[in-house]
Amino acid sequence: MSAKRWKSYYHEIPVFYLLLWGAGRVLFPEAQLFDQLNPHPYWLGVLTFGLRYGVGAGLVAGGISAGLTLSSAWMGGERYRLEDADFYVLPALFLAAGAAIGGVVDKFVYRLRERELGIEDLHERNAVLGEELSVQRQANRAIEQQIV
């Protein structure tokens, strides 16, 4: 994977969450940001960027999702929710899922690259064997001509 592709998520993730935040403000102006929606819309970012770019982007997206979830409770006047340990389950899941999904994708990409290198080696080997085969055939013809 090219470095440009890997680094593009630094721009895409903030834009995505800014658009998601804006959509939440437009669709639910009186309510807390996506508080009562299930599944939570922040999963979109975690899944999308984790699947697309791997563990780094998955962690960044999970961290932003967790941060937005915690900050919405803090800034929304519901600070009492921060005292409940159960409230931290969803932000922790955002981080864990981003890391797990990204890790699986990174492993898959690594295995694909290994297979590509293996295929390249096999092509090189086949070319060498093809050359050796043509040399053997020429030698075989020469021996046959000497015998006849």
pLDDT in tens, 75-93: 767 777 778 888 889 999 9
Give the residue-averaged pLDDT of 42-62. Answer: 94
Q: 3-state class of 110 per DSSP?
A: helix
Mutual orientation of helices 9-27 and 55-75 as an angle, nearest 10°? 30
Query: Cβ–Cβ contacts within 10 Å for residue 97, how many?
Result: 18
- Reported as a pLDDT band with limits 50, 70 and 90, residue 10 is confident
Whether the pLDDT of residue 39 is over 60: the answer is yes
Q: What is the pLDDT of residue 3?
A: 56
This prediction's pTM: 0.77
pLDDT category of residue 30 using cuts at 50, 70 and 90: confident
Q: What is the pLDDT of residue 81?
A: 76
Tell which residue, 48, 62, 39, 44, has the closest CA to residue 105. Answer: 48
Q: C-alpha 85: how far from its chain's center?
A: 29
pLDDT surpassing 60 at residue 1 = no
What does the mean pLDDT of the chain come to? 87
Contact, 45 vs 17, CB < 8 A? yes
Percent of the chain with pLDDT over 70: 91
- What is the enclosing helix (H) or strand (E) of 81? none
**Which residue is listed with tokens 């898959």?**
108
pLDDT at 31 over 70: no
* The pLDDT of residue 66: 93
Q: Higher confidence at residue 7 or residue 145?
A: 145
Residues 52 and 60 sit within 8 Å (Cβ to Cβ): no
Question: Region 34-43: what's the mean pLDDT?
Answer: 81
d(Cα 143, Cα 30) in Å, to the nearest integer?
93
